[in-house]
Amino acid sequence: MRNRGCAHARWRNLGLVVLLLAALLARSAQAAEPADPQIMLASRYSGSDLSGGQPAWPPRGTPKTDALQPLPYVDDDIAPIPAAPAGGEPAVQPQALQAAQSKRRDQHSILSEVRVGALAHDIGIFDGSREDGIDLNLEVYFVSPRFLDVVWSPRPHLGIAVNTAGDTNQIYGGLAWGWTFWEPFFVEGTLALAVHDGKLNDRFSDRKALGCRVLFRESVSLGARFLERHSISLQFAHISNANLCEHNAGLDTIGVQYGFRF
């Protein structure tokens, strides 16, 4: 008999800690600095192309009338901006708006998306199947920092997969690149490192010989977004050590995830 209860509870508690830390980080980032009036203005600004030297008011396509027209906006949780005469200049010029928009992006919450899912465990595409159960999966995605712009702005992410049969559990972290190829459909690929509690050698006929405690993890997802912030996706993931250890049995999972973007 394999004593898996303690290991199962340990990984489950670790996943709850990761989620709690992510929520605390996001809340502290939002409360770090007081609201800036120019940032509030930029959050509601949309319309003409500021970078192309177009007038900031009125937005292109807006009919010119003698009536006062409010500045267009995006965020609904910020108080309205005072109206400006049609055809007139707003109090904040395009350069100031660009600077405020950039500052607002820097102060935005670091939390980008949370996904939960259920994955079929050890489906054996590349190395046969030995282990059982379903992996209950949680992933937290963060806003891509500016220094990652040089590698196409991937989102850092953390994840955990807890196996319902008491077989190999894993926790992982890395970078995720996503592309919307045909609205609302998207494809995403990730590269990460995973730490697991599985077996390292082949002495167990019903367990994978994963070789190293730290493995490489790659995944690809295909999904669709709906209602602006929600998504459903199909994910395939693989972990192995690229022959860096004596044994190198890979472990493959596939399943469905639901995501919510912030």
Same-domain check for residues 127 and 79: no
CA-CA distance, 63 to 23, in Å (whole number)? 44
Give which of 239, 89, 227, 112 is closest to 178, Cα–Cα: 112
44-85 pLDDT per residue, tens = 443 333 334 444 444 444 444 444 444 443 343 334 444 455
Same-domain check for residues 101 and 230: no
Same-domain check for residues 80 and 142: no
Identify the pLDDT of residue 128. Answer: 86
Same-domain check for residues 42 and 170: no
Return the higher-pLDDT residue of 140 and 86. Answer: 140
158-214 pLDDT per residue, tens = 999 999 999 999 999 999 999 999 999 999 999 999 999 999 999 999 999 999 999
CA-CA distance, 29 to 261, in Å (whole number)? 17
Query: Is 0.75 topped by the overall pTM?
Result: no
Identify the pLDDT of residue 58. Answer: 44
In a domain, 126, yes or no: yes
126-172 pLDDT per residue, tens = 888 999 999 999 999 999 999 999 999 999 999 999 999 999 999 99
Q: What's the domain count of the chain?
A: 2
Q: Which domain holds residue 149?
A: 110-261
Of 50, 77, 107, the one marking the end of a domain is 107
